[in-house]
Structure 1
Amino acid sequence: MSQKQTVIIFGATGKTGTSVVNGLIDSHKFNVVAAVRPASKEKPEVEQLKSRGVEIRHIDIETVDDSTVDALRGVDVVISTAYYTTIPAQKQLADAAKKAGVKRFIPNDWATPCIRGIRKFYDDKGAIQDYIREIGLGYTFIDVGLWHQAIFPPPDKSQEQYPGQFERSRIIYGDGHVKSAFTDLRDIGTFVARIVDDPRTLNQYVFVWGEEATKRQILDITEKARNIKIVPTVVSPADAEKQLASARAAGGISQILFEYEYSWWVRGDNIIENAKKPEYGGALDARELYPDIKPRTMIDYARSFYSNSS
């Protein structure tokens, strides 16, 4: 029997991190370690990880030093799913991983395909990818499309997954027939466990997705699941361009969110056909790599979500 790989996750108690931890544990193929800030070591979420057999190592991703290198020794794979403000700190973390002998580094991508120059946040993540390649550290870059959990209109604002979701989820840009790719958050970890254990994915970009749909199809699913009629807000392409300019002028989270919307629903970047193109990174298709994994469907998620939200 081959020795289990040791995988350490930064951001293990977040939404993506939780899915990744679940997938790794359920596979029974890895020694799972969570990197936890010293200030967070007593949190209930950390205690829960311990109770599941996850080893805890006290590392602050934003204060990388020689002790970080020591903490990463013996680790085969580093996975970052930490909060988005820690994106720049991954350069120092990659340096520490390289010194510690880590074989594969999976940075904090977990989003949607694009090309450079469209989304500043994508470019910021791209700079980390460039650096990882530059220092010769083994890597896998993973995008996952949009979550099922974030695309359906919440019944009320209290159930938003991100700021403005209640209003944004009811907006259609143009004719509403631009497709995007989607993945159930719970399926991400299942795919990641396979990707990490697969030599074919080393030094590759992998796109995880379940299905593709247009905004009109999403609203149609919503109407059927809730037995209601939704009147969408229609935004013309010209108005979308104006909103994009305003968001970029405002900067910050406004820019991040609207550049995503523009990429998904106006440009149509977020589809597997694009992800495979060289200019998008030349992704491997996770569904082709692992055809035995059956992703959860959007319609099944919607039925469950709305039945539990009523």
Structure 2
Amino acid sequence: MALKSKVLIVGGTGYLGKRLVKASLEQGHETYVLQRPEIGVDIEKVQLLLSFKKQGARLVIGSFNDHRSLVEALKLVDVVICAISGVHIRSHQILLQLKLVDAIKKAGNIKRFLPSEFGTDPARMTDAIEPGRVSFDDKMVIRKAIEDAGIPFTYVSANCFAGYMVGGLCQPGHILPSRESVTLFGDGNKKSIFVDEDDIATYTIKTIDDPHTLNKTLYLRPPANILSQREVVGLWEKLIRKELQKSSLSEQEFLNIMKEQEYAEQVGLTHYYHVFYHECLANFEIGKDAEEASALYPDVKYVKVEDYLKQYL
């Protein structure tokens, strides 16, 4: 039996990062978590790092402001997963990942790098509208740096995080499902793809030693979770045995509302626009340069949207 890769997770205290640490340990990988001095006196992050240590992870000190420390941390492992949060200011996030790419080049031992993507495949979003396209363009900058450097990679396209989308019945600014009303995007019938965050972590860790996903994109498309907003609402109505009052937001009305928001909100709303009006997550077939996670790993019993909704009852 082949030895499992040693894994370094960057951004391990974040929303997805902490789940990646857990999944890596559960799947038997020697797991390292980058401990950045920049966390200072953030007691919650410190306690989370200490909890990782109790679970068997190894903490390794490294800073994006200290190239040598990053290189030394990378030399301890075979695989690097970056889970830096997307809430960072644009230029800051690009800078951090480019620094990580430079350190990987210098270390020279990394067998695979998974950059911080985990959402919509940026390679398919070249026609995205401003200002939201900035996040896709940024990810393509990182991809180009990775591929120009000849670094082995896997890109993970996890589509919609269930916690952000399913809980609020796909409505921006909502994370709990209403028992009274819901606003639909257009007719609400455009298909999207929803994935439980723990399942995202499980699939991600499974891919790191899989030759089928080397230098490819891994799409997370659990079949039962390819649903329209209206279907998600219908599942919730079935659970609460009540029909919600529904209103509809036309495409132009959505764009008008979006233009009135601050820049950061506009970036986020652009993603909703392409997902729920243009069906950008489910309107294409996966090509030869990609794999689908639930087909590769049928042993993973992923959380279905209907079951995910039950926690809100």
Q: CA deviation at 1:73?
A: 0.8
- Answer yes or no: is the 8 Å Cα contact 1:140–1:205 preserved in 2: yes
Q: After superposition, where does 1:1-310 map in structure 2 within 5 Å?
A: 1-28=1-28, 30-40=29-39, 43-61=46-64, 63-84=65-86, 85=88, 86-88=92-94, 89-101=96-108, 102-113=110-121, 114-118=124-128, 119-154=133-168, 164-165=173-174, 170-210=182-222, 211-246=225-260, 250-251=262-263, 253-271=264-282, 274=284, 276-277=286-287, 282-303=289-310, 305-307=311-313
The alignment covers a number of residue pairs equal to 292
- Answer yes or no: is the 8 Å Cα contact 1:107–1:141 preserved in 2: yes
- Answer yes or no: is the 8 Å Cα contact 1:226–1:306 preserved in 2: no
Q: Which residue of 2 aligns with 1:158?
A: none
Tell me the secondary structure at the aligned position of residue 233 of structure 1: strand
Q: CA deviation at 1:298?
A: 0.6
Larger fraction in helix: 1
- Answer yes or no: is the 8 Å Cα contact 1:70–1:100 preserved in 2: yes
Deviations 1:4-54 (A, max 9, x none): 3111001112221122122211111x1100012124386110110000110
Question: Any unmatched runs of 5+ in structure 2?
Answer: none
CA 1:275–1:205 in structure 2 vs 1: closer, same or farther (change >3 Å)? farther
- Answer yes or no: is the 8 Å Cα contact 1:195–1:201 preserved in 2: yes
CA 1:183–1:53 in structure 2 vs 1: closer, same or farther (change >3 Å)? same
- Residues 164-173 or 129-138, more deviating: 164-173
Q: Alignment identity in percent?
A: 27
Q: Distance in 1 between matches of 2:276 and 2:172?
A: 18
CA 1:127–1:171 in structure 2 vs 1: closer, same or farther (change >3 Å)? farther
Q: CA deviation at 1:77?
A: 0.8
Q: CA deviation at 1:277?
A: 5.0
- Answer yes or no: is the 8 Å Cα contact 2:166–2:305 preserved in 1: no
Deviations 1:246-280 (A, max 9, x none): 55xx42x2122111101110111112x526258xx
Q: Distance in 1 between matches of 2:7 and 2:160?
A: 25
Q: CA deviation at 1:153?
A: 4.5
Question: Any unmatched runs of 5+ in structure 1?
Answer: 156-160
Q: Distance in 2 between matches of 1:146 and 1:285?
A: 15
- Answer yes or no: is the 8 Å Cα contact 2:168–2:177 preserved in 1: no
Q: Distance in 1 between matches of 2:140 and 2:257?
A: 24
Q: CA deviation at 1:74?
A: 3.0
Tell me the secondary structure at the aligned position of residue 232 of structure 1: strand
The aligned amino acid for 1:214 is S
Q: CA deviation at 1:244?
A: 4.7
The aligned amino acid for 1:95 is D
- Answer yes or no: is the 8 Å Cα contact 1:80–1:106 preserved in 2: yes
CA 1:103–1:243 in structure 2 vs 1: closer, same or farther (change >3 Å)? same
- Answer yes or no: is the 8 Å Cα contact 1:34–1:55 preserved in 2: yes
CA 1:167–1:34 in structure 2 vs 1: closer, same or farther (change >3 Å)? closer
Q: Distance in 2 between matches of 1:162 and 1:266?
A: 13
- Answer yes or no: is the 8 Å Cα contact 1:11–1:82 preserved in 2: yes
Q: CA deviation at 1:67?
A: 2.2
The aligned amino acid for 2:70 is T
CA 1:145–1:220 in structure 2 vs 1: closer, same or farther (change >3 Å)? same
Tell me the secondary structure at the aligned position of residue 284 of structure 2: helix
- Residues 64-73 or 225-234, more deviating: 225-234
- Answer yes or no: is the 8 Å Cα contact 2:167–2:309 preserved in 1: no
Deviations 1:71-117 (A, max 9, x none): 21132111011122253110111110121121211100011234224
Q: CA deviation at 1:283?
A: 3.0
| Root mean square deviation of aligned Cα | 2.5
